[in-house]
């Protein structure tokens, strides 16, 4: 049992003791005892607000309740606790000896990469994460691919936290944009200029040179989309993004699912006809206005297809939860989608929509505008070729998707401590270097059971272990908050702690006691485990050399 779990259990038992002694109607389950690390180390190692959170319901004063709890906890302190104190209006602070950190390091080492930091938050809940889903009308570019790393990392975090996760890309391979792509392709194929509003990128010319199908805009558009989709898959694979499902919008429409969905809404009295079009009474379910489901020309709208698609997600394939990662340009569609899901009989809180805001890339003073049809977008391929897949992923996972961001590529290319990618991966490389140096000197780690981890008393060593001990909580928080950026922040802190340890705590120097050297070698291994888990959740490699 971790120190945190031991403290939670002790607090729960102390509450029960005080309640029985003082006749209070009060009980707290260990699972709901809130414990956190004080912002200032001088305030102790752990703190709980249990007295403040429960005093009102118990009809007592928070500080008085805290005093009673401190009395009980101090009489029989939990393992490693050296002091229990009241702070402020009723916080209870715990001071622990260094042994709790040595135990924490032993847990990291015994559980290893496969088992450490696997909080069972999800409890097997089936979650689908749909992300990117850019129209296959052109190569994926920075504008629509940037938040792909967020969707993939979120899926990795959720999987480690006990969810059953499926990654999905919704392929918009039908409708007006496909016909426009077909018109653009055929125009180039016959040596003509692209029609106004068409796709003018060089990729259209390249595709047109190999097209040998009929002069049918839909057939030509579908053929081009298939080729473009193959390129998109290769691009995403180059940054470690692989989908479990590529779901075709055309398959939804051709299966009759759109008509079935509209009929289902009609049965509920949520559909009406006006001006030759079929409308959804979305205002009755919280939307700002009613929405068209089928145009007067018979074409289903994007919303109709999207509702049929989400009906399939929830009611056919049976996902417990769906997380959609959209670009900021989808903001106006969220209310309609939520209204439609609710109309289909699905609890709306089972659908989560994350909107990725605009990202801007600059190279010094130079910036490039992005627009697929004009053909001047920044291809994701070119960015990956420039700064590498690891840098591409870490950069896109440094900020929350709901924040507009600007990155300077010139700074990313510099190999310095100011470059977050270099700084983190240098920690991994230094770990690899320690292993190589130990092998050269014929030094191997003794069995963990024979090593005295209590020799790790330097503040750099203890700070490094403190950071490692936080990882299970970081993974849990990142899963609950849908925020893999929390893992990015933790990885950067771990790297900083390791660099400080590496600088101040020699491992294999001749004047280092052999027992201490062994303990430090195991601390290096613990750091490797934590860094490997953290970088793996981000989809970033942990190099052994740079």
Query: pLDDT of 99-158, one tens digit each?
Result: 999 999 999 999 999 999 999 999 999 999 999 999 999 999 888 888 999 999 999 999
Residues of the domain holding 401: 132-248+357-408
Indicate whether 335 belongs to any domain.
Answer: no
Same domain as 534, residue 425 = yes
Q: In the chain, how many domains are there?
A: 3
Report DSSP letters for 337-406, one per residue: HHHHHHHTT--GGGEEEEEE--EEEEETTEE----TTTT---BHHHHHHHH-HHHHHHHHTSS-TTS-EE
Of 365, 384, 408, which residue is a domain's last? Answer: 408
Which CATH number is 490's domain given?
1.10.730.10
Indicate whether 237 belongs to any domain.
Answer: yes
Indicate whether 14 belongs to any domain.
Answer: yes
Indicate whether 493 belongs to any domain.
Answer: yes
Q: Does residue 518 sit in helix, strand or coil?
A: helix
pLDDT band (50, 70, 90) for residue 373: very low
What's the rounded mean pLDDT across residues 200-211? 94
Of 408, 439, 473, which residue is a domain's last? Answer: 408
Same domain as 361, residue 244 = yes
Same domain as 462, residue 397 = no
Same domain as 365, residue 239 = yes
Burial of 510 (0-12, 13-18, 19+ CB in 10 A): exposed
| Radius of gyration (C-alpha) of the chain in whole angstroms | 29
Of 78, 97, 116, which residue is a domain's last? Answer: 97
Same domain as 503, residue 401 = no
Same domain as 189, residue 155 = yes
Same domain as 361, residue 239 = yes
Condensed to tens digits (0 to 9), the pLDDT of residues 491-532 reads 999 999 999 999 999 999 999 999 999 999 999 999 999 999
Nearest one of 126, 124, 133, 128 to 166, comparing CA atoms = 128
Same domain as 137, residue 237 = yes
222-226, 357-361, 538-542 — which is least confidently predicted? 357-361
Same domain as 169, residue 91 = no
Indicate whether 473 belongs to any domain.
Answer: yes
Indicate whether 332 belongs to any domain.
Answer: no
Rounded to two decimals, the pTM is 0.93
Q: Which residues does residue 361 pair with via DSSP β-bridges, in sequence order?
A: 407
pLDDT band (50, 70, 90) for residue 434: very high
In sequence order, the 6+-apart residues with CB closer than 8 A to the CB of 77 are 10, 84
Indicate whether 349 belongs to any domain.
Answer: no
Same domain as 149, residue 87 = no
What's the rounded mean pLDDT across residues 290-308? 93
What's the rounded mean pLDDT across residues 287-311? 94
Same domain as 139, residue 191 = yes
Q: Report the mean per-residue pLDDT for the chain.
A: 93
Same domain as 401, residue 425 = no
What's the rounded mean pLDDT across residues 11-23? 93
Using an 8 Å Cβ cutoff, are 102 and 138 in contact? no
Q: What pLDDT score does 367 carry?
A: 58
């Amino acid at each position: 049992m971790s120190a945190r779990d031991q403290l939670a259990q002790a607090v729960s038992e102390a509450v029960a003791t005080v309640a029985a002694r003082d006749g209070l109607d009060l009980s707290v389950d260990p699972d709901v005892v809130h414990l956190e690390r004080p912002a200032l180390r001088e305030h102790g190692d752990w703190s709980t607000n249990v007295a403040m959170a429960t005093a009102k319901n118990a009809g007592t004063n928070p500080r008085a309740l805290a005093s009673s709890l401190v009395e009980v906890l101090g009489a029989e302190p939990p393992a490693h606790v050296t002091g229990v104190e009241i702070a402020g209006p009723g916080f209870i602070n715990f001071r622990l000896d260094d042994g709790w950190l040595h135990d924490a390091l032993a847990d990291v080492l015994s559980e290893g990469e496969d088992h450490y930091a696997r909080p069972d938050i999800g409890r097997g809940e089936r979650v689908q994460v749909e992300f990117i889903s850019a129209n296959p009308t052109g190569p994926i570019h920075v504008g629509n691919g940037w938040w792909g790393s967020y969707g993939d990392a979120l899926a990795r975090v959720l999987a480690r936290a006990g969810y059953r996760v499926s990654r999905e890309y919704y392929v918009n391979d039908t409708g007006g944009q496909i016909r426009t792509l077909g018109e653009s392709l055929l125009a180039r194929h016959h040596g003509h200029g692209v029609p106004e509003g068409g796709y003018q990128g060089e990729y259209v010319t390249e595709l047109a040179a190999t097209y040998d199908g009929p002069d049918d805009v839909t057939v030509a558009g579908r053929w081009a989309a298939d080729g473009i989709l193959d390129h998109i898959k290769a691009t995403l694979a180059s940054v470690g993004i692989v989908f479990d499902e590529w779901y075709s919008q055309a398959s939804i429409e051709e299966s009759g699912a759109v008509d079935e969905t509209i009929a289902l809404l009609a049965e509920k009295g949520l559909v009406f006809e006006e001006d030759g079009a079929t409308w959804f009474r979305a205002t009755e379910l919280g939307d700002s206005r009613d929405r068209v489901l089928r145009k007067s020309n018979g074409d289903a709208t994007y919303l109709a297809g999207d509702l049929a698609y989400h009906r399939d997600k929830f009611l056919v394939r049976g996902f417990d939860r769906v997380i959609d990662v959209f670009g900021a340009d989808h903001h106006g569609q969220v209310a309609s989608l939520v209204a439609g899901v609710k109309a289909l009989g699905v609890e709306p809180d089972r659908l989560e929509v994350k909107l990725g805001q605009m990202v801007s890339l600059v190279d010094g003073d130079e910036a490039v505008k992005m627009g697929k049809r004009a053909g001047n977008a920044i291809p994701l391929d070119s960015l990956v070729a420039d700064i590498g897949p690891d840098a591409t992923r870490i950069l896109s996972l440094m900020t929350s998707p709901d924040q507009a961001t600007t990155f300077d590529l010139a700074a990313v290319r510099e190999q310095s401590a100011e470059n977050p990618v270099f700084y983190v991966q240098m920690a991994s490389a230094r770990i690899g270097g320690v292993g190589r140096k130990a092998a050269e000197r014929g030094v191997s780690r003794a069995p963990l059971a024979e090593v005295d981890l209590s020799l790790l008393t330097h503040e750099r060593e203890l700070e490094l272990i403190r950071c490692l001990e936080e990882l299970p909580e970081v993974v849990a928080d990142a899963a609950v908050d849908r925020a893999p950026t929390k893992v990015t922040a933790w990885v950067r802190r771990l790297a900083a702690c390791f660099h400080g340890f590496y600088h101040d705590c020699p491992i294999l120097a001749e004047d280092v006691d052999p027992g201490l050297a062994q303990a430090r070698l195991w601390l290096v291994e613990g750091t490797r485990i934590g860094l490997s888990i953290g970088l793996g959740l981000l989809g970033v490699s942990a190099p052994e050399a740079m």
